[in-house]
Amino acid sequence: MKPRSEANSGRREFLTAMAAGILGGGVSVGRGMSAVSSWTGMRTNSVLNQLRADSSSLKIKKVTPYIMQLQRDSLTEIPQVHFLLARIDTEDGITGWGDGSSWGNVAPIYTEIERQAPFLVGQSAWNIENLWQGFYNRRASSHGASVMSALGAIDCALWDIVGQKLNVPVYKLLGGKRRDRVKIYTSYRWGRNLPRTREAYAKRTKELVAEGAVAGKYDPFFDRLEPGMQVTQKTLRELEAMVQGIREGGPDFDICIEGHGKFNVGSAVTVAKTLEPFRPLFFEEPVPGMNAQAMREVQLSTSVSLAAGERIQSRFELREFLDLNAIRVLQADTTRCAGITEFRKMASEADTRYLTVAPHNPNSPVCTAAHLHLCASMNNFLILEEGAHNPKMYKELFGTWDDSAAAWTVPEKPGLGITIPDAVIKEYGIPIEKAN
């Protein structure tokens, strides 16, 4: 039997080699004698705990919410959209960013972050899980969109800080890469003024394919919500023509159809049956997104995979959808489901049912960064939403940006890999009294 000191030395060498492989070189690990139990947590002897050179470091100094009016891509025709970002500064001089955007709801999220700031200042940013649980439990009687989005912004900023402290991209903290590039679907690239005909959609899809697009999503039902949520014969006829055109224009193109929860169960089934011959990748929210039982009725009636998740705020809400086999594609969103910490758990729950994940991503570049790291590392990733991104702004904040219509590169800079200069904050910041 080896002496205890020699055994401890061997264990430290093993942990150092393991961390160097996962997190990159130059990381010092290995204190204490107990076995590694998890990645994060204050009271566990986790890998992250053992990497902490100084347990008093990364003390949170300041938490600041910002409302930003970042310029959106004109193709989406969604102007005046405001984003809610959280900035966390540590006494070490590290700044982390998180996105908690929820359109039309940024003012109460801003206020929620201000309310939570005193509980966070003085705490260690290392303790991501502990801080998440503290926030979640303090607001246990008021969980809802504003609270969960505020928690999401704080959580993402903490992951950003820890990645920067360790000098590694966040995906390495999540287990490393499963893929180098993240497949995307283009968003609303057909526009709203295109004639609703097979010929027009075939022509436009050929143009998108020529631009490099491999998938795309749009809502063919805009301004067509009928009384009783009933689909009309005219809408069905136009839908069939448009989707047939997309399939003709792109035989291998992945078609994603957005429903925005517009239909009753019977109409949703009829629409799904209309889509079946054209093999869409998914049909998103054919019925209101929080009704798992109604979603189940539609899913069991069609071969088309149903997608939902942007309104599902935690794994606890997700459980009903999984137990009922109500969806086949989870569309979780870090800005809606309380950040990277909860997103990972939701994706893992979905993976146990062999369901895929296609993150909802119409938010700021900060949210896109968080999703890119998650998509790179998760096992059951399907595809990422392009959203209404502005390539010029993405390049400014990421430093470099490959504006592909097919797949995006995962950031390699430490943390989320994104920087928001003071000049950008000054130019695009919106006072809370003017927020929408």
Secondary structure (H, E, C), 106-163 = HHHHHHHHHHHHHHHCCCECCCHHHHHHHHHHHCHHHCCHHHHHHHHHHHHHHHHHHH
d(CA 170, CA 415): 5
Using CA atoms, how far apart are residues 190 and 196, in angstroms rounded to an integer?
10
| 389 carries an active-site annotation | no
- Compute the chain's Rg from CA coordinates: 23
Sign of the Cα pseudo-torsion (154, 156, 161, 166, in order): positive
Which listed residue (82, 360, 371, 373) is catalytic? 360
Decide: residue 173, CB within 10 A, 0-12 exposed, 13-18 middle, 19+ buried: buried
- In b/e form, how buried is each residue of 135-172, taking b as 16+ CB within 10 angstroms? bbeebeeebebbbbbbbbbbbbbbbbbbbbbbebbbbb
State how far the Cα of 108 lies from the Cα of 105, in Å rounded to an integer.
6
In angstroms, the Cα distances linking 219 to 96, 246, 335 are 35, 13, 22
Indicate if 373 belongs to the active site. Answer: no
Choose, from 82, 143, 260, 371, the residue flagged as catalytic.
260
User: For residues 27 and 166, is the Cβ–Cβ distance under 8 A?
Assistant: yes
- Residues marked as catalytic: 260, 360
